[in-house]
Amino acid sequence: MVTLPVAALAAVALAVPAAASADQVILLPGASGAEGIAAGVGTTFFAGDLFRGDIFRGDIRRGTAELLIDAPDGRMAVGMIADTRHDLLFVAGGPGKAYVYDTRTRATVASYDLADPATSFVNDVTLTPFGAWFTDSTRPVLYFVPLVHGRPGPFRTLALSGPAADTSGAFNLNGIRSTPSGHTLIVGHSTLGKVITVDPRTGASALIAGVDVPNVDGLVLDGRRLWVVQNSLNKISEWRLSGDLSSGTLTEEITSTEYHVPTTAALFGHRLAAVNAHFDTGFPPTSPTYEVIVTHS
């Protein structure tokens, strides 16, 4: 998910194991930017062109990617999640927008005007058994798009309270993931450098104690294991969460010489695939290439 670049970063050395070897670099051919990634069936992934809104489909086993959806002009593609049961791809669309694509036919299934584009930035999305939840980096809300018989329905807005409602920074809520039941959401807050639980029924939120993650961007959740992409720090930290999700302990930091401001990641067994946004070259970035970097988790 997008986080505005900062001029200077302070890194704190932590005594934890670190992995530092990239398995492969997968080029997104012709991309003008990159930000979001979602796991598909098997070793398939989807990734987006941040500024054009185009969607790529790739395979981490073959190490290739190709253009899947040539989005209409004016769209963006930020965070994304795939609903493989219904061949749908939910995409956060930046200023006030969200989109749902059919990954089989490549058609736009739904387009949402979630909020005023001048005062909102729809940044990331997660899937629950009931539908998809989107974050907004400038407003203290989440947006919910229900799934009704496998089709997206009308959205609603959930007002937040507690730390997730903090809008003191330029970019606030960022990455989002859900527990399998859909009864608890986990969001990353870029300004606070924290990870927060949210009750999707009430909007009440609470900090996950011990999880300090400056430059938090995308999240990956598997059981009680949480991976946090820390974009400008060029690393992904892994945390072990407590059973009640109230606290977490750092277990590993994944780094790579191939990381150039990774923003989001997707899990494939024991491998993490992360998108290079190249925000270190500016915003908009000016890198000639954009890639997916696959490392061991």
Q: Is residue 93 one of the residues assigned to a domain?
A: yes
Q: Residue 66: inside a domain, yes or no? A: yes
Mean of per-residue pLDDT scores for the chain = 93
In a domain, 10, yes or no: no
Instruction: Write the pLDDT tens digit of every residue in 114-164.
Output: 999 999 999 999 999 999 999 999 999 999 999 999 999 999 999 999 999
Specify the CATH number for the domain of residue 272.
Answer: 2.130.10.10
Evaluate whether 79 touches 171 at the Cβ level (below 8 Å).
no
Q: Is residue 244 part of a domain?
A: yes
Q: Would 159 be classed as within a structural domain?
A: yes
% pLDDT > 90, the chain: 92
4 part of a folded domain = no
Domain count, the chain: 1
Copy the structure tokens of residue 248. 């977490």
Residue of higher predicted confidence among 297 and 102: 102
* Residue range of the domain that includes 267: 18-296
Is residue 11's pLDDT more than 70?
no
> Is residue 8 assigned to a domain?
no
Domain assignment present for 12: no
